[in-house]
Amino acid sequence: MAAGKVKRSDLPRFLEAAKAAGYDVFAPARAPEGWSFAPYEGGAVDLDGYLLTTLSAKALALPQLEAFLAYDGNDGRLVGADESKRLVFGVRPCDARALALVDKVYLSRGFRDPHYLSRRDNTVLIVSACHQPAPTCFCTSVGGGPADAAGADVMAYKSGDELLLDATSSKGEEFLKAAKLEKASDAALKKTKAACAKVADTMAPLWELEALRPILYKNFDAPAWEELAARCVSCGACTFVCPSCHCFDVADEGKHGRGSRLRFWDACTQSRFTLHASGHNPRARKGQRYRQRVLHKFYYFHENWGENLCVGCGRCVVACPVNVDIREAVTAVAAGK
Amino acid sequence: MAPGMKNAALVEKPLLPQPATLEKVVVETDAADLKSFYLKFVDGSRWPYLPGQFAELSLYGYGEAPIGMASSPTEGDHLMFTVFNTGGKVTRALHRLAPGATVGLRGPLGNTWPLERLRGRNVAVIGGGFAFTTQRALIKYILANRADFGELTVVYGARSPGALLYKPELAEWEKSPALTLHLTVDKGDATWTGREGFVPTVVEEEKLPPADAIALICGPPIMIKFTLPVMDRLGWRPEQIYTSLEMRMKCGVGMCGRCNVGPRYVCVDGPVFSFAELSKLPPEY
Amino acid sequence: MAVEDEIRAKARELLASGEAEVVVGFVEGTLPLTARPALVKDAADADRLVWNRCCTPGLARYVLEYIRDRRKRRDFDAAKARKVAVVAKPCDARALVTYIQENQFGPGDVYIIGVNCAPMVDRNKVLAAVGAYRVEGADVDGDEVVVATTDGGEERLPLGDYVDASCAACTRLEPPLADVVLGEKAAPAAEDPYARVREHEARGSDERWAWVVEEVGRCIRCYACRQVCPACYCEECFAEQRNPAWIGPATAEEDLIAFHLVRVFHTAGRCVECGECERACPMDIPLRVLSEKLVKDVKEKFGYVAGVNPEEAPPLATYKPDDSNEGFL
């Protein structure tokens, strides 16, 4: 399907049209913490000021808190899945790629999570290709890129005073068809894609990842793990801002026999993550936990699903209160330190 | 490794427990810290399961606990779980239940004991303490399909006579020609006339033969730590020895991310692993 | 000799002589205007230590963690244990005093390399002003922040306008307890440490509540604030107990309010105003308004300042018949 175009000044109209068509529309907006995906309330979207949201788009598929089951005495029923149609505009390629990776965990181990599945099925992702990286971006080091379409339904490119919208999935095609946009010129699309490719060229990969990956695992006992983690404070900031972290905890909350079973974000960096009821804790030390985090991102997930779980968005590097840096960690451990 | 048998309801709604009625409670140990729960599904359904698998036992308002299935599918409609009261929210609440209560079950989860490798071979079951539960399931299964398996040798030990599980069955097995049972306790009491000694010592004394045999070991880490070198001296290879790992679990279906040992998730790739497999995984369990 | 050189020399001396088995200090970070904690065990590594206007992370907690961890080791011999040395800003030194007051360790367990402080730079404010993606590197040079931009240019900002919020309100620039004090004394940046609190106090009761609910409503329960806070060192936090469950585990509004209000009250009379909670929060929640309000209240009601005198006991851990009853009766 040919790409469509929207004048940048017409973007509000485009988003309002989606709302009128029944979509809950989310777009990047300034927030006290930086940028966030907020319900679109009208007005311009600052496409040039916006780089990356503080929290990733993950919350739209995997909310921080979800009551997935309601119980009354011994009777428990699954809470109805959220089937609302949603359009998320302005997701970054790293965010979209991360969701496609998390899909593998929630949908294809032989079990299907109905809540996650419903949210993903009913959400259209319009991914804003990156025309410049943030200083902490390293997507090109982990198999991604500024115009990577993995996980995207529609790719949006800046092209002069226009936005070019190119469908990259059947869901995206369906959405653009209904939007009835003017056709974009092939030349314009080619030009803007080339501009993004140039951006990728400025982001030299930090590592030769495929060769380095098995070395990370081979150096399982490297002293670097404890040293790198010595400054870690075992909070969950890195995990919670990460677009591909997907671990959760479960707890029941109720009164007088009536309540909900809750699912909420959890972090392997925290000391109680693997604490057994007996008191035994296989990952009692920070170095063990940090190693788990890095190896999961760069090795274990790849062993299971063939792709790198870290998407190089750099949010963890920015969020860490004490400057633990995953880029540095991978380099140090691979060097056998 | 035979994959676990899946329950269709679980595939579509992996986090929804199925209600079961508690039909019978048996206090297994003198200290009453272990109880066996006999459960039957409220809607009369049956699970397709095999020895080695586990389930999440759910009590609304408290939470869930992953417990190995101690019954064999050859025993009939009941599912039996032997639960240790850890003092935590869920197991404490389970221990307060009386027959007639409802317990939610999610499962069957995990993989099974390596039955296709056991068929036609000699089987050595080595268990300690209350890790013996899924091994009971296997023993009952083998006894019900006796011709399919070679010699069955069981070494089972507990701290004291009062701590032994399944005492009536142990008494039967001691007399049965279908298996050889070596029972032992760390320390006997006034009435104990049986053997005294740690499980690793008994394994060494009985010289369990590795020829054409598979061993299944479950017990506290210290028991396993001292038993493996004995097995090695007797000529057993790591690919002949299986164990069942315990981990902190929440979802039991490979999603919540907390039960991994390296790239393997204990709830879906395990809990049964051979020591050959474990030797390739990080020692984080 | 610059303070940084003095720190390195002292660290080298302590490690080489064996008086200390570790020095907790700062090393250069991987991001512009960032220094980060490090545990140096080798005298040869002392030259990695830095001291500059980016040294915001709190180091006191690492001292406590180190001492607690080594006590738990099977081969730990208290008789052979050597000191834990630490580069201590005044707020870090105050935190160490609270640990001594609360019997976490004794004064002889630590060697405090005190440093007279000056307000640290607010790196996020600098990045926001210049544009995060334009910053190639940055440095504090005298009273200016010098930013090298990606287009090869340079921007100079007056440091005074880009000072960290907690540092800007700080009136205690000298460590209350130290084995040695380095650096020149500086005048406090602020005359009134309670400016932000007064702004909050000026709001009516309903307005205050609405403000708190809105701000903590962004919380994602990452616990960064708690993990960096010197006062929060419980092995099991009330917020994570499930047996009993005092509050819910996640981001329901009532739980966010309860978590932050209860946590700040647990730090009342113990908060050393380091500002790490607010700096660590990924959601930019103005936590210091809550904690400084309690600092002010404790000062006014009990005449007490946290972490100044190791012989003192915190007011909320002691009872005196003439304690203020304001608010109770």
Domain with A76, as residue range(s), is 4-202
A178 min Cα distance to partner chain C (Å) = 35
Whether A130 and A179 map to the same domain: the answer is: yes
- Global pTM value: 0.95
CATH of the domain at B184: 3.40.50.80
| B255 with A69: Cβ contact below 8 A | no
CA-based nearest residue in chain B for residue A295: B262
Whether A37 and A152 map to the same domain: the answer is: yes
Sole residue written with tokens 């000799």 = C1
| A233 with C220: Cβ contact below 8 A | no
Whether A198 and A116 map to the same domain: the answer is: yes
Q: Is residue B253 part of a domain?
A: no
Q: Residues B185-209: what's their mean pLDDT?
A: 95
Question: What pLDDT shows up at residue A337?
Answer: 73
CA-based nearest residue in chain C for residue B87: C243
Q: Residues B218-238: what's their mean pLDDT?
A: 95
Q: Is residue B166 part of a domain?
A: yes
Q: Which of chain A's residues have a Cβ under 8 Å away from the Cβ of C282?
A: 33, 54-55, 237, 240-241, 319
Q: Pick the last residue of a domain from A155, A184, A202.
A: A202
Nearest to B88 among A266, A268, A277 (CB): A277
Residue A241 has pLDDT above 80, yes or no: yes
B88 touching C (Cβ < 8 Å): yes
Nearest to A111 among B104, B247, B254 (CB): B254
A317 min Cα distance to partner chain C (Å) = 9
Q: Which of chain B's residues have a Cβ under 8 Å away from the Cβ of C242?
A: 63, 89
Question: What pLDDT shows up at residue C1?
Answer: 78
Q: Which of chain A's residues have a Cβ under 8 Å away from the Cβ of B14?
A: 111-113
B10 touching A (Cβ < 8 Å): yes
Cβ-Cβ pairs closer than 8 A, B with C, add up to 4
Residue A264: C-alpha distances to residues A72, A78, A236, B214, C58 (Å): 21, 16, 13, 42, 29
A226 touching C (Cβ < 8 Å): no
Residue B2 has pLDDT above 60, yes or no: no
| A322 with C136: Cβ contact below 8 A | no
- What domains appear along chain C, each with residue ranges and CATH number? 3-115 (no CATH), 121-162 (3.10.450), 192-318 (no CATH)
Q: Pick the last residue of a domain from B109, B132, B155.
A: B109
Q: Which of chain B's residues have a Cβ under 8 Å away from the Cβ of A268?
A: 257-258
Whether A177 and A223 map to the same domain: the answer is: no
Q: Residues B221-244: what's their mean pLDDT?
A: 96
Residue C119: C-alpha distances to residues A193, C165, C175 (Å): 46, 9, 14
Domain with B156, as residue range(s), is 115-244
Q: Residues A79-93: what's their mean pLDDT?
A: 96
Query: Rounded mean pLDDT of chain B?
Result: 95
B237 touching A (Cβ < 8 Å): no
pLDDT along chain C (329 residues), means of 10: 95 98 98 97 97 97 97 92 97 98 96 95 93 87 92 94 94 95 88 92 95 97 98 96 93 97 96 97 97 95 93 85 71
Whether A11 and A87 map to the same domain: the answer is: yes
Whether B32 and B152 map to the same domain: the answer is: no
**Looking at per-residue confidence, does C317 or B48 come out higher?**
B48
B89 min Cα distance to partner chain C (Å) = 6
Q: Which of chain B's residues have a Cβ under 8 Å away from the Cβ of A73?
A: 60
Question: What pLDDT shows up at residue C329?
Answer: 54
Whether A131 and A19 map to the same domain: the answer is: yes
C230 min Cα distance to partner chain B (Å) = 29
Question: What pLDDT shows up at residue C319?
Answer: 84
Give the pLDDT confidence of A189-234 residue by residue, as tens digits.
Answer: 999 999 999 999 999 999 999 999 999 999 999 999 999 999 999 9
| pLDDT bracket for residue A108 (50, 70, 90) | low
C235 min Cα distance to partner chain B (Å) = 18
B248 touching A (Cβ < 8 Å): yes
Whether B72 and B23 map to the same domain: the answer is: yes
Whether A38 and A68 map to the same domain: the answer is: yes
Give the pLDDT confidence of B60-75 residue by residue, as tens digits.
Answer: 999 999 999 999 999 9
Whether B25 and B93 map to the same domain: the answer is: yes
Whether B57 and B95 map to the same domain: the answer is: yes
Whether B145 and B222 map to the same domain: the answer is: yes
| pLDDT bracket for residue B1 (50, 70, 90) | very low
Whether B220 and B205 map to the same domain: the answer is: yes
CATH of the domain at B26: 2.40.30.10
